[in-house]
Amino acid sequence: MKAPKQALLLVGSPKPGESTSESLGAYLLDELEKRGVKSQTLHVAKAVRSDESVAELRAAVAAADLVVFSFPLYVDSLPAPAIRVLELIAADHAAGVGADGAGDRAFVTICQSGFPEVDHNEVAMEICRNFARAAGFEWAGGLILPAGGMLGGQPLAKMKGMMRTAVKALDLSAEALAAGQPVPDEAIRLMAKPPIPKFGYRFMANWGWRSQFKKRGQAESLKVQPYA
């Protein structure tokens, strides 16, 4: 892996507004820019809507020597638009499109989910590793953030207290990637640590569900057991 000059952030969340995936990826790109790496951001949901947007995607991937793919976990996998983008990039590589210097490109992922455990994300991470190999990228590591709902799409820099381990993980990752090194094991370990204890996160999640049902006058429906 070589020290990158141009990084591309692919935001895998299909949300039209702010997303936790973009927040995490944007923070990493900001740290890379501080270290002299230029950057560009594309949202995958928009990148597959037209021939023009697909052409923009292809040009951005060809220009980047570091691709950061930040996405949410959807049913132990990736959102459909994110999968489609990976398929397009892999197909281009197989067809020899943009093959010059392809072996010098690195691929990094940030996967976040609402679960407080990281093992739910392992299948999605393996998909990304297989993609990197098939598309001619060097696998530079994958970060998994559990309990991503704590961030809620807010800028990571504004939540450095609660998300301090994630911030440290991304700082370490930016330092290593900018120097042409893969994501450190310490960064992976720190990112995998839930922002709050698991029991606290589960309590807050259950409280949130009950509050939403109560506001809609459907609190009793939580007790329904149709298959009991």
How high is the pLDDT of residue 216? 82
Q: How far apart are CA 171 and CA 2, in angstroms?
A: 19
Q: How far apart are CA 79 and CA 13, in angstroms?
A: 7
Q: What are phi and psi of 8, to 5 degrees?
A: -120, 125
How high is the pLDDT of residue 73? 92
Mean pLDDT of the chain: 89
Q: How far apart are CA 74 and CA 120, in angstroms?
A: 10
Q: Which residue has the higher pLDDT, 171 or 101?
A: 171
List 112's β-bridge partners, or say none. Answer: 72, 145
Residue-wise pLDDT tens digits, 27-58: 999 999 999 999 999 999 999 899 999 999 99
Q: Summarize the confidence of residues 156-173 as an average pLDDT.
A: 88
Token pair 């094991």 is at which residue? 185
Contact 100, 107 (CB under 8 A): no
Q: Which of 156, 150, 210 is nearest to 30 (CA)?
A: 156
Interhelix angle for 122-134 vs 80-94, to 10°? 20
Angle in degrees, CA 174, 167, 69, rounded to 5: 55
- Type of residue found at 77: S
Tokens of 159: 């939540």
- Kindly report which listed range (9-13, 16-20, 60-64) carries the lowest average pLDDT score: 16-20
Tokens of 181: 């090194």
pLDDT band at 150 (very low <50, low <70, confident <90, very high): confident
Residue-wise pLDDT tens digits, 61-74: 999 999 999 999 99
Contact 20, 112 (CB under 8 A): yes
Q: Summarize the confidence of residues 131-143 as an average pLDDT.
A: 95
Q: How far apart are CA 195 and CA 68, in angstroms?
A: 22
Tokens of 35: 């270290």
Tokens of 115: 């679960």
> 175: burial class by Cβ within 10 Å (0-12, 13-18, 19+)?
middle
Contact 23, 154 (CB under 8 A): yes
Token pair 């440290």 is at which residue? 168
pLDDT of 139 strictly over 90: yes
pLDDT band at 75 (very low <50, low <70, confident <90, very high): confident
Tell me the range of 148-157, 177-186, 208-217 where mean pLDDT is highest.
177-186
Q: What share of the chain in percent tops pLDDT 70?
A: 93
pLDDT band at 23 (very low <50, low <70, confident <90, very high): very high
Q: Which of 33, 22, 70, 54 is nearest to 177 (CA)?
A: 33
How high is the pLDDT of residue 212? 81
Residue-wise pLDDT tens digits, 81-95: 999 999 999 999 988
